[in-house]
Chain A
Amino acid sequence: GESVGLHLPTLSVQEGDNSIINCAYSNSASDYFIWYKQESGKGPQFIIDIRSNMDKRQGQRVTVLLNKTVKHLSLQIAATQPGDSAVYFCAENGDNYGQNFVFGPGTRLSVLP
């Protein structure tokens, strides 16, 4: 597969454990955030989003938490599976229209058997 980033921070978790991936965002005016998953050799995939008027949003096995005070976003994956191994990016909207997303550097999640 293609190399997304050779020096990304890596989180290694045991299969079945919960994973927490963190992201610090830069713009205090950002009002919309997305988490993406990128598997090796593929394009990013939308996982879950959250607006700034919320502090928590749950999906299927995933939860996003937003702390606007410290400009911090986290993605929690419950019961991590081998198929969750990928690079995860957070993205914040960088303009009023919200399409100029600014992406974080990414975290590589490695699921150990």
Chain B
Amino acid sequence: DSGVTQTPKHLITATGQRVTLRCSPRSGDLSVYWYQQSLDQGLQFLIQYYNGEERAKGNILERFSAQQFPDLHSELNLSSLELGDSALYFCASSVGGRVSSYNEQFFGPGTRLTVL
């Protein structure tokens, strides 16, 4: 168990809908990272927050948004869902803002999103 929790574990929804994925980082970790893992595109970095502020942005679609709350948990909002958004969504956390062997990331178990 990495100490990072994600809810829900599974989510099934329809095209055009909106969903919210939730992540609670390890105790003491200030950074939260979101990743998407799909069969056709592999693992992709979406976005990072550090202590409530957006720190880095990757291949995140405009239909997607995220935020980190004062208690450091984070939510990833996916709207106008398409079939291609079906994927595993991982959250990771770290103490500091830059991944390294001194600031290791710990990944949650993921949320499996299925868009029908």
Q: Cα distance A42–B92 when bound, in Å?
A: 12
Which chain B residue has the least Cβ–Cβ distance from A8? B42
Query: Size range of the interface on A?
Result: 20 to 34
The answer to whether A43 touches B110, judged by C-beta atoms less than 8 angstroms apart, is yes
Interface residues of chain B: helix, strand, loop or mixed (majority): strand
The answer to whether A44 touches B98, judged by C-beta atoms less than 8 angstroms apart, is no
Query: Which residues of the other chain, B, contact A101 by a CB distance below 8 angstroms?
Result: 45, 58, 99
Which are the 4 A-B pairs with shortest beta-carbon distances?
Answer: A43-B107, A99-B56, A103-B43, A100-B58
Binding site for A on B (CB under 8 A): 2, 4, 33, 37, 39, 42-45, 48, 55-58, 88, 90, 92, 97-101, 104-110, 112
New contact pairs (16) apart from A42-B109, A43-B90, A97-B55, CB-CB < 8 Å: A2-B88, A5-B39, A32-B100, A42-B110, A43-B92, A46-B104, A46-B106, A48-B101, A99-B45, A99-B48, A99-B55, A99-B56, A101-B45, A103-B43, A103-B45, A105-B42
